[in-house]
Structure 1
Amino acid sequence: MKNTEVRGCCAASRGESIKKSDPVRMPFRTTGRTNPQEDMILIKGGKFLMGTQEKAGFPEDGEGPIRNIKVNSFYIDPHTVTNGSFARFVEETGYRTEAEQYGWSFVFYKLVSETTAKKVKQKVAQTPWWLVVEGATWDQPEGPDSNIADRMDHPVIHVSWNDAMAYCEWAGKRLPTEAEWEYAARGGLEQKTYPWGNELTPEGKHQCNIWQGDFPKENTEEDGYVGTAPAASFPPNGYGLYNMAGNVWEWCSDWFATNIHKRGGKDNPTGAETGTNKVMRGGSYLCHDSYCNRYRVAARTANSPDSSTGNIGFRCVMDV
């Protein structure tokens, strides 16, 4: 049975745990990119049917009703920002993420070592599989005894919405609106459940990195991964975009609202004017049909702008 009350498998929020200290925003210098749209994919603008009313959806998340939306043309990264790209950003700017400033971030319990697990002092009460790990950061994803040496092509994680915005500023890009994200994720298909169609595993082949097995106890790893997969893994959608379902949640620019279809507009909508949480799209490696079936194209969730976890990343877009 789906649990529609708790979204803890989606991504934990800093609001669910005691902060160790208030982070101080650190200024950083921007160098700019000489050719920021290089390697990006041009998505030609048009109209599409946004949202869903299918039975597998979550109406309380504001997935519906289906509405006709128009977006202008834009460039989008073919995959999420990788550890390698984020490392260059940090090297050039000296930027410190909010996870580094807080001194901790959320990590899924099965990914930490026994040594780190013994040092954990806090868990999220409703979803105890989320551990508050001291020293968990983008370059130490599972805590101080981990590193990203063999994961430079994986999505950067433990990045907050604020961190993603800082990267975008440096790269001369921006975060996608929720409408742009869904338009791109659909890959030219209309009202399909996933970026590739309606069947989760066509011809028995896995198309994305999500949980298989009994969440949160056992992951059978049938898709080949227990944590993140490389950012450009699995077949791309019709627009050449990788991992628009599963792997890591992706930050969007919009404030989250469940009734945005009533007041968000239909021409290049940018979301609610104010709010407390930012939209996230795409699902992650922790999503499973039995608990958090939010790796569907129309699915959505939200988190506070300062939150970071081991399953949240982002990709960038640019205006044409």
Structure 2
Amino acid sequence: MPTEAKWEYETRGGLAGKGYPWGDSVDSNKAYYDGCVEEPRAVGIYAAKGYGLYGMAGNVYEWWADWYDENYYSNLPVKNPPGSGPDSSRVLRGGSWNYPTNDLRVATGLNSSPTYKYSYYGFRCASGSH
């Protein structure tokens, strides 16, 4: 699984400073969120964003390799941050089909125990090659 920093970089897709992977406004034609569907959907329904990735906001919260750190941005180096240290919870990002619009924001995340299983949690595999 990728780190939280890698996910944020890839999700922004070159749109530095924007709130969502596609810009600054919520768009119901770009993500599943806020109960608009009753369960997770297949990835690839909506167009790819920035760097060619699909489904980076909404549908399911995605687990990341990092342990949760509430001071994530202030505790890590700016270049190639390695992720936070061990704790009892891991980072999830991206929002979900049954979470509100604010959770779709690129900089928004939550934390949960890796032992919890919900239909609104998922994961994304990443390869080292491009």
Question: TM-score, structure 2 length as denominator?
Answer: 0.91
Distance, in Å, in 2 between the alignment partners of 1:208 and 1:260 is: 26
Would you say 1:206 and 2:23 are equivalent positions?
Answer: no
State the match for 1:179 in structure 2.
5
Shift of 1:267: 2.2
Give 3-state SS (helix, strand or coil) of 1:279's partner.
Answer: strand
Q: Does the residue aligned with 1:233 lie in a helix, a strand or coil?
A: coil
What residue in structure 2 maps to residue 317 of structure 1? 126
Question: Which structure is higher in helix share?
Answer: 1
For residues 40 and 127 of structure 2, what CA distance do their matches in structure 1 show? 25
Which amino acid is 2:114 matched to?
Answer: P
- Aligned-pair identity (%): 38
| Cα distance, 1:318 vs structure 2 | 2.2
How many residues align? The count is 129
Pair 1:274-2:83 in alignment: no
For 1:299, which of 85, 91, 108 is the aligned residue?
A: 108
Q: How far apart, in 1, do the equivalents of 2:75 and 2:87 lie?
A: 14
List structure 1 segments (4+ residues) > 4 angstroms apart after TM superposition: none
Amino acid at match of 1:255: W
Give unmatched runs, 5+ long, in structure 1.
1-174, 212-218
1:315 and 1:268 map into 2 onto residues whose CA distance is 20
2:1 maps to 1:192:
no
Alignment of 1:287 with 2:99, yes or no, is: yes
Give the Cα separation in 2 of the matches to 1:261 and 1:193.
Answer: 16
- Rounded to whole Å, the distance in 2 between the matches of 1:273 and 1:199 is 33
| 1:253 aligned residue | 65
Match of 1:264 in 2: 76
Name the structure, 1 or 2, with higher relative contact order (CA <8 Å, separation 6+): 2
* Superimposed CA distance per residue, residues 262-281 of structure 1 (whole angstroms, 9 cap, x where no aligned partner): 32222211222221100111
Question: Counterpart of 1:180 in 2: which secondary structure?
Answer: helix
CA distance, structure 1, for counterparts of residue 38 and residue 46 of structure 2: 15
- Aligned partners of 2:9 and 2:128: how far apart in 1? 15
Matches of 1:244 and 1:319 in 2, distance apart?
Answer: 18
Q: How far 1:319 moved relative to its partner?
A: 2.2
